[in-house]
């Protein structure tokens, strides 16, 4: 406790410590009447004891302001998410491919990244070597240039890289937690999220390999592939959906509604989800990402879906009223 600066005197601190012991005993679910009598006698014995117990009561009152049924899952949830993040980082660090041992928490890392866009924002960044990055929504990037190489650490999110020819001829590499991409003089898009990501090449070519190592796959202009930290997916052709965000839209071609909403929710804060029954419903169309309310309105007018706003941060999409 000594690290907590306290305005309390020594005796006050002692009384508080004793009061906390009483609290622990009474909270056990097995306290006897005798325990309760002893506790009351302890309080009555000294004004300091009474004051200390009042501090405990004040904390209890503060805790009681929210139903326990809500507090417990929220705190477990937040601990889990903060922890998972740390775990993924530890794994990455032990793989050691780039020696990112400085990583502590990927999320606080995200906040402290060199370049970052907010949810719903897109931004251009010109780098020292003349390369141009276009960062999509909710993206964090670190730029690590040294005498031997140019490394862009894509911590989270999505970006279009237009690489410049480097007078020092240093290779340009994008590293994500799952995979890394070596530019072969080029324009390409990399996305990286919790479960995996995607690379799509617009000009020239890249080489993709897993962050953990293994053989590299050559990807030409007009090609793309998915990746997780375990495997690289099959090579597919680019279509109109690739990089549509540069023009401010998501283009869907027979896309399951659940996937489309997951994609759309990258551009707006809060929760956006749909009823399970309609998650596989096929949707086609262009949806604006700069005004996601309009995208949702289009789902309503074009597909008869019901958009329910529970709060500004929470929207549920459900099936057509009558089918």
Partner 1 sequence: MSANDLSLRSAVHDLYHEHHGWLQGWLRQRLGSACDAADLTQDTFVRVLKARNALEIREPRPYLSQVAKGLLIDLFRRRSLEHAYLEVLASAPESQQPSLEEQAIMLQALLDIDRMLDGLGKQVKQVFILSQFEGLTYPRIAERLGICTRTVNNHMAKAMEHCCLMQLQLQLS
Residues forming contacts to partner 1 in the complex (CB under 8 A) are 1, 3-8, 16-17, 19-21, 23-25, 27-30, 55-56, 58-59, 62-63, 65-66, 68, 70-79, 81-82, 107-108, 111-118, 121, 123, 138, 270-271, 273, 310-311, 313-314, 316
Write down the least CB distance from residue 85 to partner 1, Å: 9
Q: Which is nearer to partner 1, 2 or 94 (CB)?
A: 2
Q: Which is nearer to partner 1, 22 or 227 (CB)?
A: 22
Write down the least CB distance from residue 194 to partner 1, Å: 13
Write down the least CB distance from residue 319 to partner 1, Å: 15
Q: Which is nearer to partner 1, 7 or 230 (CB)?
A: 7
Q: DSSP for 238-285, please give it.
A: --TTTTGGGGTEEEEEEEEHHHHHHHHGGGSSSEEEE-GGGTT-EEEE
Q: Which is nearer to partner 1, 72 or 168 (CB)?
A: 72
Write down the least CB distance from residue 235 to partner 1, Å: 33
Structure tokens at 239: 């279509």
Write down the least CB distance from residue 193 to partner 1, Å: 15
How far is the C-alpha of 217 from the C-alpha of 226, rounded, in Å? 12
Q: DSSP for 193-218, please give it.
A: -SS-EEEEEEEEEEEEEETT----EE
Q: Which is nearer to partner 1, 242 or 289 (CB)?
A: 289
Write down the least CB distance from residue 108 to partner 1, Å: 5
220: Cβ–Cβ under 8 A, 6 or more apart, which residues? Answer: 201, 204, 205
Q: DSSP for 83-112, please give it.
A: HHHHHHHHHHHHH-SS--TT---HHHHHHT
Structure tokens at 7: 């305005």
Residues shown for the chain:
323
How far is the C-alpha of 137 from the C-alpha of 207, rounded, in Å? 25
Q: Are strands 140-145 and 115-116 parallel, antiparallel or unpaired?
A: antiparallel
Q: Which is nearer to partner 1, 27 or 246 (CB)?
A: 27
């Amino acid at each position: 406790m000594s690290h907590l600066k306290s305005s309390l005197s020594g005796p006050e601190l002692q009384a508080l410590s004793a009061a906390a012991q009483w609290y622990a005993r009474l909270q056990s679910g097995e306290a006897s009447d005798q325990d309760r009598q002893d506790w009351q006698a302890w309080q009555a014995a000294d004004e300091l004891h009474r004051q200390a117990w009042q501090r405990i009561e004040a904390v209890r009152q503060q805790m009681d302001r929210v139903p326990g049924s809500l507090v417990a899952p929220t705190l477990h949830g937040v601990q889990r998410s903060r922890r998972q993040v740390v775990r993924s980082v530890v794994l990455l660090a032990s793989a050691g491919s780039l020696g990112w041992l400085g990583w502590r928490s990927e999320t606080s890392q995200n906040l402290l990244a060199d370049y970052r866009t907010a949810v719903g924002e897109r931004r251009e960044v010109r780098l020292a070597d003349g390369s141009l990055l276009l960062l999509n929504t909710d993206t964090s990037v670190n730029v690590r240039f040294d005498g031997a190489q140019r490394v862009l650490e894509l911590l989270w999110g999505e970006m279009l890289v237009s690489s410049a020819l480097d007078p020092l001829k240093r290779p340009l590499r994008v590293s994500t937690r799952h995979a890394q991409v070596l530019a072969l003089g080029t324009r390409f898009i990399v996305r990286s999220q919790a479960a995996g990501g995607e690379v799509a090449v617009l000009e020239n070519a890249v080489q993709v390999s897993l962050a953990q190592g293994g053989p590299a796959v050559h990807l030409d202009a007009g090609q793309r592939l998915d990746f997780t930290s375990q495997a690289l997916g099959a090579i597919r052709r680019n279509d109109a959906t690739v990089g549509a965000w540069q023009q401010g839209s998501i283009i869907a071609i027979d896309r399951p509604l659940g996937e489309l909403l997951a994609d759309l929710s990258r551009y707006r804060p809060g929760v956006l989800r749909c009823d399970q029954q309609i998650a596989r419903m096929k949707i086609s169309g262009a949806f604006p990402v700069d005004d996601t309310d309009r995208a949702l309105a289009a789902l309503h007018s074009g597909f008869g879906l019901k958009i329910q706003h529970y709060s500004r941060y929470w929207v549920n999409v459900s099936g057509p009223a009558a089918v």
